[in-house]
Amino acid sequence: MNEELYIRFEQYLADEMTSEEESDFEQLLESDSDVNEKFQIYKNWTNYLEHKFDSETEKFNQNLKSIAAQHFTAKKVTKVIAFKPWYYVVAATIVVVIGTWMMMQNDPSYSDFNQHETAVFVERSDSNENLKLAQEAFNKKDYQLAVAAFDKIHDFRKPELQYFYAIALIETNDYTKAELFLDQLRGGNSVYKAKATWYLALSYLKQDKKADCKSILQQITSDTEDFDKAQELLNDLE
């Protein structure tokens, strides 16, 4: 969108158009859905920013003026207009915000997929306090505390312990240790074999190792629980 269109938006909102100009602009909004959509976004953001900018945000205002200077150049138009820096401040802000939002929509993150199942690996008769604490902390999403409790456990022969410990390690960014457990599960025959592959992919995703993540996702077969999520993530990474 060029600056002239932004200026027309602002003129219309500020009631600075002649009757003929206003009629032409309204016809444009009715006939061009793309312009109409952009106008609605511009209007909403203008209302927001008018309330947002005050004496406490003067520094932000100056930054936006700098952005505007880089993105827009005033051009001659048929009607003499008293240009307001505000036009460009709003326009630049909308460009930056919408551009950032669009990029975020196309960039999958670990937090989009880290919905973990409830940990249940402690039997009622189990007297191991560290196991109980690890399970309770994991289910409360206190992964730092869960890892601290797991670290005090010496017997990790049970696959379920390896599995939930690995997830807690991913959450606390201890990827190397997490991947050791996941690789061990992937090489075994437990019910966590396929899940370990999915979480290995998520570990790579969180580290922004997209190529490695895609490679692991492609190993998830259609007969596994996480196949649909794996395909969704693969598509997002393309």
The series of mean pLDDT values per 10 residues for the chain, 238 residues long, is: 72 88 89 83 67 50 54 45 52 57 66 92 79 95 96 91 97 96 94 96 95 95 94 90
d(CA 166, CA 143): 11
Map out the domains of the chain with their CATH numbers. 3-105 (no CATH), 110-237 (1.25.40.10)
State the pLDDT at residue 8.
85
Q: pTM higher than 0.75, yes or no?
A: no
State the pLDDT at residue 221.
94
Q: State the number of CA atoms in the 13 A half-sphere of 22 facing the CB.
A: 9
Helices (H), the chain: 3-13, 19-31, 33-52, 58-71, 85-105, 129-139, 143-150, 159-171, 175-186, 193-206, 210-217, 227-237
State the pLDDT at residue 2.
54
State the pLDDT at residue 81.
47
State the pLDDT at residue 6.
75
